[in-house]
Amino acid sequence: MAEENAPSGTLERVRLGRSSVEVTRFILGCAPLGGLYQAVSDEEAESTLEQAWLDGVRAFDVAPHYGGGLAERRVGRFLQRQRAGSFVLSTKVGRLLVDQGEGDSPAPEFAGEAPVTRVRDYSAAGVRRSLEESLERLGLDRVDIALVHDAEEHLDEALDGAFPALAELRAEGVVGAIGAGMNFCEHLERIVREADVDCILVAGRYSLLDQSAGRSLLPTCAERGVSVLAAGIFNGEVLANPRPGAHFDYRPASDEVIARARSIAEVCASFGVPLAAAALHFPLRHAAVQALVVGARTAGEVAEDVAHFSSSVPDGLYDELASRGLLGG
């Protein structure tokens, strides 16, 4: 069992908002384990999770959306073998998975998933049903963090239904912390101002290529004591490997974006720092950002990312990027 293996490194833990939930500052994002862009076998997924555990990662982020439940089932099988209380698990609400009917299905970005239909439901009843069904797929009796997922087009419904329901579940001790996850800063800021949340997950909006979350969202979170989980810090994969065909915000990156990423990489190289390491460290420079959610498909990717995370990056590198006009997106 993986629990018997001592981690090769100790990762710092931080508390989310006013909750009692503490996460490692490196959280494994499990969308790739649901087949994001490329199918992943059960064996590969298991190896990735084993490596994360070996490297000291004790926080995992999943969602029903990721592979139509596939990521939840895989992560659940792994965590069932770990000691209760030794890890923190986050999942999401807002999409119910059904066998037939009208909904968002299919999701072409996920390869190898079982045929399911995604039905949006941000009501109070939908939240409770979503969590119950997630627990069934996970094979666990609780999750620590529940995030309202991609509610930008259903925000009024979520503020009226989902968030009050999650607050009740938190008060009942069913979950430890609540929040929201999406790509859109203005909607997340409204949630922070109008809902009683502990944390938000903002994807792709505070990175070396896009700092739009830093204009208003992150200061608002800092003011209100809401923890920020920064996801999508490689903006797909272009900040890990800026090659033609690399993804940027869920689609192939433009030549302009690739050129900018390569210019950033050149500055990083002049400091002897890998581009991926600079991308990992950048979001944590903001006081509101408490932890990173880093997706990985293979054990090798996890090991490399944790090594970069555990390295040091000189402040002068970011100063040089700013002086060359390569920051500020």
DSSP 280-296: HHSGGGSTTEEEEEEE-
Percent of the chain topping pLDDT 70:
95
Separation of alpha carbons 167 and 177, rounded Å: 9
- Continuous segment of H or E residues that includes residue 127: helix 124-138
Q: Which of 37, 66, 122, 206 is catalytic?
A: 66
Separation of alpha carbons 279 and 235, rounded Å: 10
pLDDT digits (tens, 9 = 90+) for 127-147: 999 999 999 999 999 999 999
Strand 95-98 with 117-120, pairing: antiparallel
Question: Nearest Cα to 15, choosing from 286, 229, 279?
Answer: 229
The residue ranges of every structural domain in the chain are: 2-323
Computed on alpha carbons and rounded to an integer, the radius of gyration of the chain in Å comes to 19
Q: Is 122 a catalytic residue?
A: no
DSSP-based helix, strand, coil % in the chain, nearest 5: 40, 20, 45
Cβ atoms of 32 and 78 within 8 Å: the answer is no
- Stated pTM of the model: 0.94
Q: Is the pLDDT of residue 37 over 60?
A: yes
Amino acid letter, residue 202: V
- φ/ψ of 291, rounded to 5, equals -155, 165
State the CATH class of domain 2-323: alpha beta
**For residue 181, what pLDDT is reported?**
98
pLDDT digits (tens, 9 = 90+) for 256-270: 999 999 999 999 999
Separation of alpha carbons 205 and 214, rounded Å: 8
